[in-house]
Amino acid sequence: MTELIQVFLNSLVLSANYILLALGLTLIFGILRTLNFAHGSFYICGAYVVYALAKVAGVNYFLASVAAMIIVGGLGVLVEATVLYPLANKVKVASLGAILGVSMVLEGVLAFIFQGEDVTIGSFFTGTVSVGGATLSVERIMVVVLCGVIMLALYQWIQKTRQGTAIRALAENPKVANLQGINTRLIRYLVMAIASCVAAFAGAIVTPLFYINPYMGGGVVFKALLIVAVGGMGSVEGSILAGLLIGFVECIGVTYLGPIAEIISFLLVVVIFLFRPRGLMGVEYEFH
């Protein structure tokens, strides 16, 4: 029983990490119609800003997290303005290639600044609580709670506000949305800023549990892309569902079966694609 609770919490932490990234990616896909390979780099940038401010410069952790979100959000807007928007009407391969380039440049720059070694941010919430006989660290619980709050806020924003409605309209049919007077340019910036902020938040809040190094962005973003695809590209609910599914399968598998479990989660993805080629909750999108 105690082990089950532990595994459950660990699965939730992993799922929260995946979902936060996948949410940004799926929003970006819905509006910008591209796979944002630089998302993982934004995540690592967020983690390194917190590392630089909180660990090296000694700023308060929460202030550092907010600073990370602002800086990385700005970075996202910059990338959108300089790289993605000019390529918006070209073939898909062009924007994909360019965004891959952005992510590689960011990784290279981070490697130059931070020497490319593994560092830890360190724990900010200390102590443990015991639930039903299992000892759980406060840090992990806080991560799950904060991620849940962000997730809910984002979901409410998309479902309930005017801007959220505009985003959903644009994702569904850009031409008709434009005819209704929705400012595509502004929404693109907004989505990119929000998605980057959420990625930075994920980096700031989740990475204290792990080691960080400048090159880990690629692996993280590919996992998140898989989740977005499994959930159905552009679907927010699908991403949350798929994130939970993959997170739990992976964590439970690793605990009971060892490293072979990673194969299982990838095989699961392939099987899902076999039966639902557009993902769990996918909608039909037009591709170039």
Give the residues lining the site for other proteins (CB under 8 A).
Answer: 35, 37, 83, 86-87, 90-98, 100-109, 111-112, 116, 218-219, 222, 225-226, 229, 233, 259-260, 262-263, 266-267, 269-270, 273-274, 277-279, 285, 287
Contact assessment for residue 114 and residue 44, using Cβ atoms and an 8 Å cutoff: no
In 3D space, the residue among 13, 64, 32 whose CA is nearest the CA of residue 201 turns out to be 64
Tell me how far CA of residue 127 lies from CA of 10, 138, 190, 273, in angstroms: 17, 6, 38, 42
Please, what is the minimum distance in Å from the beta carbon of residue 279 to other proteins? 8
User: For other proteins, which is the closer residue by CB, 37 or 124?
Assistant: 37
In the complex with other proteins, the residue whose CB is nearer, 208 or 232, is 232
Task: List phi, psi (to 5°) of 183.
Answer: -80, 100
Cα separations (Å) of 76 from 46, 84, 131, 188? 12, 10, 40, 11
What's the closest the beta carbon of residue 195 comes to other proteins, in angstroms? 17
157/222 with CB nearer other proteins? 222
> What are the phi and psi torsion angles at 57 (to 5°)?
-90, -15
Pick 127 or 286: Cβ nearer other proteins: 286
- What's the closest the beta carbon of residue 261 comes to other proteins, in angstroms? 9
Identity of the residue, 136 or 249, whose beta carbon is nearer to other proteins in the bound complex: 249
Q: Which is nearer to other proteins, 189 or 266 (CB)?
A: 266
**Counts for the chain of helices (H) and strands (E), in that order:** 11, 4
| Enclosing H/E stretch for 207 | none
Closest distance of CB 34 from other proteins, Å:
8
158: its two tokens = 């998309």
Cβ 152 to other proteins shortest distance, Å: 27
User: What's the CA gap between 54 and 255, in Å, rounded?
Assistant: 32
Report d(CA 239, CA 22) in Å as an integer.
6
CB of 164 to other proteins, least distance (A): 24
Residue closer to other proteins (CB basis): 74 or 116 = 116
Enumerate the H helices of 161-235 as residue ranges: 162-172, 174-179, 184-206, 217-231
Shortest distance, CB of residue 287 to other proteins, whole angstroms?
A: 4
